[in-house]
A and B are shown apart, each in its own frame.
Chain A
Amino acid sequence: MNDAPMLEVSGLTKRFGGLVAVKDLEFEIRPGEILGLIGPNGSGKSTVMKMIMGVVRPSSGSIKLDGVELAGLPAHKIARRGVGLVFQHSRPLNRQTVLENIKVALLPDSLLALFADRGVDGQARAIAERVGLGHLLDRKPPTLAFADLRRLELAKAVARHPKLVLVDEPFAGLTASEVGQFSTLIKEFRDDGRAVLLVDHNVKSVSALVDRVLALYLGERIAEGSAADVMQDETVRRVYLGGALTGSTRSRQFAADSAPVLTVETVSVLYGKAQALQGVSLYVHEGEFVSLVGLNGAGKTTLFNAICGLVPYSGAIRWGGTALDGRSPASIARGGIVQCPETRELFGDMSVRENLELGGDHLDTAERLERLDWLYDLFPILKGRQAQNARTLSGGEQQMLAIARALMMKPKLLILDEPTLGLAPVILETLSKALERLRRDSPITILLGEQNVTFALPHADRVYVLDHARIAWEGPPGRFEAEAAQHYL
C-alpha cells in the first residue's frame, strides 16, 4: 500500500439554506484502501459522496485527488479526472441491450465522434465478463434481475477506470450470496490499487470489506477507525442504540390479553424485482404503543403504505377483525388508520391553521375548534405560528404540524413514519414529550417507525426490529440492547 493519500478532503462543508448538512469534514483515502462512510439517515453521508462527484457543489472546503483540486468542478470534469460513482438506482437505457448500455459509458464526450471506436466493443465485453454479465449481453435492462441491474451500474462506473470509486449502499436489496459476489468485485478494485469509498447506513453491512470506517452524525465526524473499534465507540453506540435505554412506566393499561386491533399476517411486497417486505407479521393492541425500528431501506415505510392501502401486497392485514384488502386508501383512513408520512406532505403554501383545518374537515365546527385547542395545547409553538405558511416553518415545527394535522382526523391508530428525520436533538426532546402526553391523555393507538432508537424505545410498549425486509426481533424495549443491538449497529 502506498502511503501518500489519493483523496484528501479537508474543511468540507455544505449548507442548504440554514441547514448545515456537512460540517468541516476532514478525511483521506489511500490507493488500495476501502473506507466505509457510515451514518444514519440525514447524517450527511450522501451529501459528502455527491460533493466528491460534483453533483452537489460544496459550500466551502477542499477535495483533492492526487493533489488536484476538485471542489467546485462540474460532475463530468470530475469524472474525467478519475472519479466514478456506482449509483444505487439509475435509469438505464431500456431499449438498448446490456452491451450497448456498457458501451455508452465508454464513449468519448465529443460531438464529432459519431461512431464508437472498434475497441469499444471488446472493452465492453471484457467489463461485462468481469462483473458477471457476460451471459446477458443481449438482454435489455427491463428483463434483468435486480442484482444484474446493480452489476450493470458497477460495469458503467468501472468502464472509465476511475482511480477513486464511490459506491452508494453497495449491498442494498441483495441476497447473501449476491453480497458475497459484490464484495469480491469491490475487493478487486482495492487489489487494482484504486481507492474505494463505500457509503452505507451501518457498520455491520460493510464491516467485512472495509479497511477503515468513518462515522457521521448530523454532518459531523463522530468516530473513525477499524470497523471493530467504531462498533465499540461510545458515541456511535449512543447514536445508533440510544443512551440509557429505559422504557417508561405505563400509566395506562391496555388490554394485552384481548384480540389485537391490527394484525399483519405474512405480508410481502415486491417493488419490481426488489423484495421490499418478506413475510412480515405483527400485531398491535388497542391503546398500545408499538415501535418498529429499522434502518433506512429496511421496509418500514413499505409496511405502513401496505397497511394504508397504498401499495399492493400479498398476505393479510386486518383492522378490528376485518380484512383491509381491496379497500381504498381513503376508506382505510376514514376507518381510523391515519399515517403521518416521513415526507410530511404538508400544504406548503397554506398557513398552519389552514393545514390543521383541512385535517379536521369532516368535523363539525364546535368539535373542530375543541380539537384545535387541544392540539395547540399539545404543541404550543404552533399556536404562535397559526398564520404562517407551512413552508416557512423550521423542520421540527413542520413535523409537529404534520403530526397535529394527522391528529385532527381523530385517528384510532396513528402511524408515525420517521418523525425524527433530519431533526436536531433539542427538537426530539419536545416531540418526545408531546408523544408521552399524547399516550397518557388519549386512548390512541400508535405505531411508530424509526431508525433513531433513542427516540423509539422510551415510549414503546413493544418493539419490533425490521431488518432487510423481515422482522428480525420482537420484544419489550428493556431487552433491546442485550438482544437486538447486533441487528442494528
Chain B
Amino acid sequence: MRALVGSRLFWFGAVVLVAAAVLPLWVSGYVLGLLTVAYYTAVFAMSWDLLFGFAGEVNFGPTFLIGLGAYTAGILDSQFSPDLSIWWCILAGAAAAVVGGVVLALPALRVSGPYFGLTTLVAVLMLQNFIVVFADLTGGEIGLPVPDVITIDAKLNYLIAFGFMLVAGGILFGLSRSAIGLILQASGQDAVQAGALGFNVSKHKLFAFAVSAFFSGLSGALMVFYLGTASVGTFVDIGVGVQVIIAAVLGGRRTVLGAAIGAVFLIVMGEGLRPLGELATLIVSVTALLVILFFPNGFLGMIRGGSRA
C-alpha cells in the first residue's frame, strides 16, 4: 500500500518535472522569469531544511549564507570583470558561504537550544551592516549592479535554474536519505544518545551546515548573475530569510523536496496576487499560517496523510 502511494507520488512528481522542463516552449518570458527566481529560492529552502529538518538546528539566518554567496560573487565580478569569468565568481561565492558558514557554526554549535538560532540571526544583521557601511565596495543600500550576466535569454536562464534545482535537490535529498542523513536525524533528536552511540555530533552538524552553506551560497551567486544586481532587499534582509523558512515549513519539514514545492508556491502566489497590492503579502502570510497551524507537516504531509487515510 505504502509502495503504491510512494510510486503514485513519484509518477506525479515525474510528470510535473517533465512539464516544467518543456515549459519554455509554451509560456511567456514573464512566467519563465518568475519561475527562475522561484527555483533559486527552492534551493535556499531545501538547504535550510537539511539543517532544520535533519540536524535539528534552526538557522534564523539563511540569508547570511545566501548573501555571502551573492555578494562575494557580485563584488568579484564588479571589481575584476572582464578578466575574471563569472563562473569563477560563482564558485568563489559558494566557497565564501561555506567558509563563512563554518566560521559561524563552529562557535555557534557549542551553545545549545535557542542560542544557536540567535547567533545566526545576529550574523545576518552584521552582514547587512557591513554591506551598508562599505557602500563603495558593496553598492550599499542602493544595490550592486554587476557588469555581467549568465545570459539574457530567458529560456536558457530558466533551464539553468531548473537544472541547478534538480541537481541540488537530488544531492540534498540523497544525502538526507543516506547513512549520514540518519546520523544527522539521530543527532538532532537526541544528541546525548547519538554521542553515547559513538557519533561525533558536532562533526556531523558542522558538515550539514557546510553543505547547506554551499548550496545556499551557490544559488545566491547564480541568482545575482540572473538578476544582474545584488541588493540587501533581495539577498540579505531578514524578511527574505523568513520567506525561505516559511517555504520550507510550508512544504513539509524533513522532506527536502517539500521545501522546493513550498518555495515555488510562495513565489508564484506572491506574484499572482500582486495586483492586490499590500493585501497580497497579507493573503500569502495568512495562507502560510493556516497551513502551518493545521497541517504542521506541510504540503507533502497533507498529501501523504490524505493518501494514508
Chain A residues packing against B (C-beta within 8 Å) = 53-55, 74-76, 79-80, 84-85, 87, 90-93, 95-96, 100, 103-105, 107-109, 111, 113-116, 156-157, 159-160
Contacts and interface: CB of A to CB of B under 8 A. Distances in A.
Contacts of A85: 193, 196
B254 A76 contact: no
A104 B196 contact: no
Contacts of A109: 183, 198-200, 203
Given A53-B196, A87-B196, A76 B201 contact: yes
Contact of B186 (A80, A93, A111, A115): A93
B190 interface: yes
Contacts of B195: 54-55, 74-76, 79
A473 B145 CA distance: 82
B50 to A, nearest CB: 14
B190 to A, nearest CB: 5
Contacts of B189: 91-93
Given A100-B182, A115-B179, A91 B196 contact: no
A80 to B, nearest CB: 5
Given A92-B189, A108-B179, A115-B178, 7 more contacts: A76-B196, A91-B190, A104-B186, A105-B197, A109-B183, A114-B180, A156-B193
B192 interface: yes
A107 B179 contact: yes
Nearest to A83: B196
Contacts of B203: 109, 111
A76 B179 contact: no
Contacts of A93: 182, 185-186, 189
A87 B182 contact: no
A75 B190 contact: no
A55 B190 CA distance: 12
Q: Provide the main secondary structure of the chain A interface.
A: loop
B197 A96 contact: no
A54 B200 CA distance: 12
A87 B199 contact: no
Given A114-B178, A115-B178, A104 B190 contact: no
A-B complex: 6 closest residue pairs judged by Cβ atoms: A75-B195, A79-B198, A114-B178, A91-B189, A91-B190, A85-B196
Contact of A156 (B174, B178, B197): B197
A111 B196 contact: no
Contacts of B178: 114-115
B200 A55 contact: no
Interface string B159-190: 00000000000000011001110110110011
A487 B183 CA distance: 43
B185 A160 contact: no
Contact of B197 (A111, A115, A160): A160
B180 A96 contact: no
Contact of A76 (B180, B190, B199, B207): B199
B204 interface: yes
Nearest to A107: B179
Interface string B258-273: 0000000000000000
A92 B193 CA distance: 10
Nearest to B207: A111
Given A55-B195, A79-B195, A111-B207, A116 B179 contact: yes
Q: Which residue, A76, A84, A103, has most C-beta atoms of chain B within 10 A?
A: A76
Contacts of B196: 53-55, 75-76, 79, 84-85, 87, 157
Contact of A80 (B180, B182, B198): B198
Given A111-B180, A116-B179, A90 B193 contact: yes
A55 B186 CA distance: 16
A90 B200 contact: no
A109 B180 CA distance: 9
Contacts of A87: 193, 196
Contacts of A96: 182, 185
Nearest to B201: A76
B192 to A, nearest CB: 6
A90 B190 CA distance: 7
Contacts of A79: 195-198
Nearest to B181: A114
A107 B183 contact: yes
A108 to B, nearest CB: 8
A160 B198 contact: yes
A177 to B, nearest CB: 27
Interface string B201-230: 101100100000000000000000000000
A141 to B, nearest CB: 11
A114 B176 CA distance: 10
Nearest to B204: A111
